[in-house]
Amino acid sequence: MFNQYNLEEIRDRARASFIGMAIGDALGATVEFMTSSEIAAQYGTFRDIIGGGWLRLKPGQVTDDTEMALCIARAIVKNQGWSLEAVAGNFAAWLKSRPVDCGDTCRKGIRAYLLHGQLESPPNAWDAGNGAAMRLLPAALYSLPDDELLKKYVLEQARITHNNPVSDAACLCLGQLLHMALCGAEKSRLHRHVDGLVTRFPTFAFVPYRGLATGYVVDTMQTVFHWFFRGKDFEECLVGTVNQGGDADTTGAICGMLAGAYYGMESIPTRWIKKMDVKVIAEIEVMVEHLLSASPVWRPS
């Protein structure tokens, strides 16, 4: 059977994407909620994984961004398929385990699941935080390269906690950018895809960049787009992103997954990988293998 995809290359990009997300989370968490000028005053350019921050993390420790993504990955792998119940169940078990951090909208949605079995939050104009986008990578890996499956998985997991058109648009665009980058698309192609998002939702316009990096998904995605398209390698993309401060672990996680998918493993600085929690990296490796081997791209057509 013939498969048009370079599976070894996709595997490398997928590993880099998931590990890149965890690195962006661990790197950015140190400067989360700082302003860019506070970061500059304290560090010059902040570029090392050292822990600390408002959550007093160990160096290489990840936060809710990576943990919620792992909840989705484990649900797919353990259930041997997509089950929204399994995803919500893992979120609930995670929340009960007293995680180091959890966003307000995520907490509200998970509580509604715990109390009422609710799998889809009601539409809410204010639930446009970045919490649904930050964790969607496993849905993108498991659906690769099927756009219809991607939309289903990405939106279903999102709406457990976030039901908002701006969050939905950001999640879909990010998921599709990941699919394209994993399959080897050039940056010009990715940029055109973001231009399409901006045409439909002008609020995402990131040129000129306003420099806002809050947890509002519009600010988050503008920051990721600005630094991803301007950076020349994985490190430049991530360092630029987290030095904006604000929700730096989440902008870092999202930029890390995108830049990892685009540049692949060889672009990720060894000094960053060495600092990461070894158990987290080991689980990520296992999850990526399972998600990809169960995805449509691995089944020759």
* Nearest residue (CB) to Mn ion, 64 versus 168: 64
Nearest-approach distance from CB 111 to Mn ion, in angstroms: 18
Minimum distance from residue 133 beta carbon to Mn ion (Å)? 11
- Tell me the residue length of the chain: 301
d(CA 13, CA 20): 10
Residue 50 — left, alpha, or beta (φ > 0 → left; ψ -120 to 50 → alpha)?
alpha
Residues 102 and 120: their CA atoms lie apart, in Å, by 18
| Nearest approach, Cβ of residue 30 and Mn ion (Å) | 12
The verdict on 65 binding Mn ion (CB under 5 A) reads yes
Closer Cβ to Mn ion, 72 or 190, answer by number: 72
**Which of 17, 30, 61, 63 is the binder for Mn ion (CB under 5 A)?**
63
State the nearest-atom distance from the C-beta of 129 to Mn ion, in Å: 9
Under the criterion CB under 5 A, does residue 61 sit at the interface with Mn ion?
A: no
Binding segment toward Mn ion, per CB under 5 A, in 57-65, 67-75, 233-241, 278-286? 57-65
Task: Choose, by CB under 5 A, the member of 49, 64, 68, 238 that binds Mn ion.
Answer: 64
We find the least distance from the C-beta atom of residue 7 to Mn ion, in angstroms, to be 32
Rounded to a whole number of angstroms, the minimum distance from the CB of residue 180 to Mn ion is: 25
The verdict on 161 binding Mn ion (CB under 5 A) reads no
Q: 5: closest CA among 140, 183, 167, 237?
A: 183
How many residues lie near Mn ion (CB under 5 A)? Answer: 6
Is the CB of 10 or the CB of 259 nearer to Mn ion?
259
Residue numbers 231-270 binding Mn ion by CB under 5 A: 247, 249-250
Nearer to Mn ion among residue 127 and residue 249 (C-beta)? 249
Rounded Cα distance, 169 and 57, in Å = 32
* Residue ranges in contact with Mn ion by CB under 5 A: 63-65, 247, 249-250
